[in-house]
Amino acid sequence: MPEPIQAEEEPLQIFLVEPALRPVLPKNITQTEAINNLEIEPNSVPTLPGISAQSYLVLDVGSGAVLLEKNKDEPLYPASTVKLMSALVAKQSLPLDTVLLTGPEVFIAGNRVGLSADRQVTAIDLIKASLVSSGNDAVQVLAYHHPLGYDGFIRTMNEEARRLSLTNTVFTNPTGFDDLAQKSTCQDLARLAQVVVKDPILKKFITLTETTISDIEGNSLYQLNNTNQLLGKYSQVKGVKTGTTELAGQVLITYWEEEEYSLLVVVMNSQDRYLDTLSLVSWVKEVVTWQRF
């Protein structure tokens, strides 16, 4: 009987993969202990300074690791950080060169660019105004010109939230006005910000300290100044968005970029969002090291 034919073994293939850069906490400290300001050994780990924010999150962008957090899944009022989703939906639903005619929707409370009615402005300029200077009037024009109307714009915001797994987020308006039903979390806002910074156009807008837009005739010029006081002051800050209302307190999403790693820092219901953010970043830079595995 002939011997069975042995199948030829396929040659071993070796793939060279660049080692991944990962954050490493000291062996003598855990994340929970860090959050609770517990020192394992005297002087071994700097104490996390007092943070006024009700909720915060520090995320290592490269690995997705949560380095610090407090109440990261607690639904709170998001204020104008909502405009990140508004910008995404507007960009997806309207060609950027679409010319929109402003109407009575520009006469809205809160932070405004100063748009007048009966002006023709492009969608891309309105998106820019909503992200740079957080213009409520600009985002209202975008919402009212959605193919499905204003209500359709809100529905699309919530559909996109579900698609992005923003599991604790509900949108009821595109501006970020306080509404008992409109809530989000540090975790969800960090996920939303990650999507925004991957979009080349939106990423460019959130890094602008100032710029201008105009109507298509060039008759009206509008100055846009970013509301983020860290932007331009610290070279590592590359956006993302501020928010302030009576119920939300101070909200801030920050993209912090170092040479070898990037952080997303979210603080919600803060009494001093800038100090809180800088304190969290400073603690991480002192405690966490990045190694290649």
Report the distance separating Cα 266 and Cα 188, nearest Å. Answer: 10
- Could you tell me the CATH number of the domain that includes residue 119? 3.40.710.10
Instruction: Report the domain count for the chain.
Output: 1
176 part of a folded domain: yes
Report the distance separating Cα 242 and Cα 195, nearest Å. Answer: 17
Both structure tokens of 234: 């610290």
Please, are residues 38 and 46 in contact by the beta-carbon 8 Å criterion?
A: no
86 part of a folded domain: yes
Give this prediction's pTM: 0.87
Q: Which residue has the tokens 């939303």?
A: 192
Residue range of the domain that includes 157? 79-234
What's the pLDDT at 60? Answer: 96
Please, are residues 264 and 59 in contact by the beta-carbon 8 Å criterion?
A: yes
164 part of a folded domain: yes
22 part of a folded domain: no
126 part of a folded domain: yes
What's the pLDDT at 19? Answer: 57
46 part of a folded domain: no
What's the pLDDT at 22? Answer: 77
- Which residues in the chain show pLDDT less than 50? 5, 7, 14-17, 28, 30-44
96 part of a folded domain: yes
Report the distance separating Cα 181 and Cα 186, nearest Å. Answer: 17
3 part of a folded domain: no
DSSP letter string, 20-58: PEEEE--TT--HHHHHTT--SSTTTSPPPPP---SEEEE
